[in-house]
């Protein structure tokens, strides 16, 4: 009899693990189907209610590892992560989910039902925040990015950043698992937990819907974007004649966009190498003449090598009647940019009643930098980028969340990626892939006013609150450790 029960339980565990893995596989990754993540942990949470602690932990750990195999090609193929780093990524994710389910199970079986509801998301969000602080990839592991197309829910980021989104996303299936577990013995408590979670979610969605009907303040601006994935153009072009030729080709696109009404044009990151002062001066002179003749501002990316040999991933900004401005990328992509010197300063550009900011590609993976621009009342972020073709949606669209958090529209032009413009509600106003033409261009009218957000004011407050919740959950378990286990 006992053997039959063990076989049955093993079967349930394998099914729960496989279901969780499938839901995460298709609910996250390069092109996620957002509804799936609202249920992804549920099979293992239901299994954990009556499983042994090690069985629950193993199911959760293996489930998430199977799920994030959807990013194996990115980690191993694109980022060239060595096997020890890959093992660290997958094992750490597995351990985080194993600990989260174990803490949830231990509290649930000791009668701390409300604390169990908070414990599971608290562990995972704390883990996400730890990665944000320690990893060169910032927030890229956050589950919040799976919800970019769920616009009413996405508005929560304007209050909590990605952390509140991940917390509620995980609290929902946790409440369902607890409700199912308590449905017979404590139906009132089950109803309170499920109903309370649904009520919070309803308030969030009503807030998000109302916010979507609001309008971003400020003047509207016609912006242009241009990029080229043609042979050789997607690489960093050598200085001298090759760079001059490429600049002249891009100038044709700028002139065309200017003739159609663009007032600023964003080009991709690292178009070419700009060496010494003489080369830099000739580049500045070329683009200076271009902006003066067209009346349109230009943001272009270059790999600048200073006289002392230091290399910078720089965005150069040319505006009519002004000296060139620059911004040096702060967050580098290892291993490809490990030899570059990070920047340390914001570039804020007052332009009439508007305030523009500049970031480069991976900078948009981090909340503090964009929040700093938000505090400067930036309403339009100009972003040169460079992606890897396969991740043009996954990575390019991560920037959208920064705009919702910090109250600005985004103009992002990337090689081997896409050209898109989004507003501060996270709506993509227009988008086209960079390989749509030899020189792909896009013309969009976008709101430019800054919209103050609570996240601007308070920053990562939910992440710190989550850490306190986690400490409270662990403390609660220690306090209840001698209480009889309820199954």
Q: Are residues 197 and 262 in the same domain?
A: no
Phi, psi of 183 (to 5 degrees): -60, -30
Is it true that the peptide bond before 335 is cis, omega within 30 degrees of 0? yes
Task: Compute the half-sphere exposure of residue 381: CA atoms within 13 Å on the CB side of its CA.
Answer: 35
Cα–Cα separations (whole angstroms), residue 267 to 316, 400, 440, 464: 10, 18, 11, 37
Q: Are residues 50 and 162 in the same domain?
A: yes
Q: Are residues 226 and 130 in the same domain?
A: no
How open is the CA angle 445-446-450, to the nearest 5 degrees?
Answer: 155
CB 124 within 8 A of CB 132: no
Cα–Cα separations (whole angstroms), residue 179 to 123, 185, 198: 20, 11, 12
Residue among 47, 82, 49 nearest 62 (CA): 47
Q: Are residues 335 and 286 in the same domain?
A: yes
DSSP state of 407: T
Residue among 340, 344, 287 nearest 317 (CA): 287
Q: Which residues pair with 382 in a beta bridge?
A: 358, 411
According to the model, what pLDDT value does residue 307 have? Answer: 87
Residue 202: which domain range?
A: 2-214+465-479
CB 20 within 8 A of CB 59: yes
Is it true that the peptide bond before 124 is cis, omega within 30 degrees of 0? no
CA dist 348 and 357 (Å) reads 5
Q: Are residues 143 and 255 in the same domain?
A: no
According to the model, what pLDDT value does residue 215 have? Answer: 85
According to the model, what pLDDT value does residue 4 have? Answer: 56
Decide if 458 is inside a domain: no
Phi, psi of 14 (to 5 degrees): -65, -40
Give the total number of structural domains in the chain.
Answer: 2
For 35-49, the pLDDT digits (tens) are 999 999 999 999 998
Q: Please give the full DSSP string across 154-205, using - where no structure is assigned.
A: HTTHHHHHHHHHHHHHHHHHHHHHHHHHHTTT-HHHHHHHHHHHHHHHHHHH
CB 320 within 8 A of CB 353: no
* Alpha carbon of residue 30 to chain centroid: 12
Q: Are residues 469 and 429 in the same domain?
A: no
Decide if 399 is inside a domain: yes
Decide if 322 is inside a domain: yes
* pLDDT tens for the chain, residues 1 to 487: 455 557 788 889 999 999 999 999 999 999 999 999 999 999 999 999 889 999 999 999 999 999 999 998 888 777 777 888 889 999 999 999 999 999 999 999 999 999 999 999 999 999 999 999 999 999 999 999 999 999 999 999 999 999 999 999 999 999 999 999 999 999 999 999 999 999 999 999 999 999 999 988 999 999 999 999 998 888 999 998 999 999 999 999 999 999 999 999 999 999 999 998 767 789 999 999 999 999 999 999 999 999 888 999 999 999 999 999 999 999 999 888 999 999 999 999 999 999 999 999 999 999 999 999 999 999 999 999 999 998 888 899 999 999 999 999 999 999 999 999 999 999 999 999 999 999 999 999 999 999 999 999 999 999 999 999 999 999 999 999 877 777 6
Residues constituting the chain: 487
According to the model, what pLDDT value does residue 3 have? Answer: 59
Q: Are residues 107 and 224 in the same domain?
A: no
The SS3 assignment for 419 reads: strand
CA dist 47 and 181 (Å) reads 10
Q: Are residues 191 and 254 in the same domain?
A: no
Q: Are residues 198 and 291 in the same domain?
A: no
According to the model, what pLDDT value does residue 1 have? Answer: 45
Q: Are residues 156 and 258 in the same domain?
A: no
* Alpha carbon of residue 327 to chain centroid: 21
Decide if 486 is inside a domain: no
């Amino acid at each position: 009899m006992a053997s039959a029960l063990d076989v049955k339980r093993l079967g349930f565990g394998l099914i729960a693990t496989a279901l969780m893995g499938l839901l995460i596989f298709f609910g996250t990754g390069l092109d996620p189907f957002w509804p799936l993540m609202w249920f992804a942990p549920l099979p293992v949470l239901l299994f954990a209610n009556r499983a042994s602690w090690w069985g629950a932990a193993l199911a959760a750990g293996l489930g998430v590892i199977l799920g994030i195999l959807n990013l194996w090609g990115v980690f191993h193929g694109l980022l060239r992560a060595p096997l020890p780093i890959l093992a660290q990524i997958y094992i750490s994710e597995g351990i985080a989910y194993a600990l989260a389910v174990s803490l949830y199970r231990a509290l649930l079986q000791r009668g701390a039902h409300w604390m169990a509801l908070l414990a599971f998301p608290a562990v995972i969000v704390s883990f996400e925040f730890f990665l944000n602080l320690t990893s060169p990839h910032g927030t890229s592991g956050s589950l919040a990015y799976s919800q970019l197309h769920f616009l009413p829910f996405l508005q929560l980021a304007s209050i909590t950043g990605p952390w509140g989104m991940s917390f509620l996303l995980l609290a929902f299936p946790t409440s369902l698992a607890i409700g199912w577990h308590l449905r017979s013995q404590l139906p009132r408590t089950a109803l309170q937990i499920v109903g309370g979670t649904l009520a919070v979610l309803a308030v969030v969605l009503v807030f998000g819907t109302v916010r979507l009907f609001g309008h971003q303040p400020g003047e509207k601006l016609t912006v242009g974007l241009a990029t080229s994935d043609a042979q050789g153009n997607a690489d960093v072009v050598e200085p001298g004649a090759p760079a001059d030729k490429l600049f002249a080709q891009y100038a044709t696109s700028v002139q065309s966009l200017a003739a159609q009404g663009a007032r600023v044009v964003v080009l991709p990151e690292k178009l070419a190498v700009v060496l010494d002062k003489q080369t830099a001066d000739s580049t500045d002179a070329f683009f200076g003449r271009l902006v003066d003749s067209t009346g349109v501002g230009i943001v272009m990316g270059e790999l600048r090598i200073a006289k002392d040999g230091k290399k910078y991933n720089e965005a150069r900004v040319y505006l009519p009647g002004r000296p060139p401005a620059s911004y040096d990328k702060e967050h580098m992509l290892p291993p490809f940019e490990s030899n570059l010197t990070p920047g340390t300063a914001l570039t804020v550009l007052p332009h009439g009643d508007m305030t523009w900011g500049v970031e480069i590609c991976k900078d948009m993976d981090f909340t503090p930098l964009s929040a700093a621009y938000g505090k400067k009342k930036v309403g339009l972020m100009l972003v040169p980028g460079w992606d890897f073709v396969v991740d043009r949606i996954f990575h390019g669209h991560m920037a959208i969340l920064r705009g919702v958090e910090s109250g600005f529209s985004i103009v992002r032009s990337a090689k081997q990626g896409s050209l898109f413009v989004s507003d501060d509600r996270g709506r993509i106003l227009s988008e086209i892939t960079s390989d749509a033409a030899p020189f792909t261009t896009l013309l969009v009218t976008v709101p430019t006013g800054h919209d103050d957000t609570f996240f601007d004011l308070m920053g990562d407050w939910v992440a710190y609150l989550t850490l306190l919740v986690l400490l409270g959950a662990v403390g609660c378990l220690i306090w209840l450790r001698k209480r009889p286990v309820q199954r």
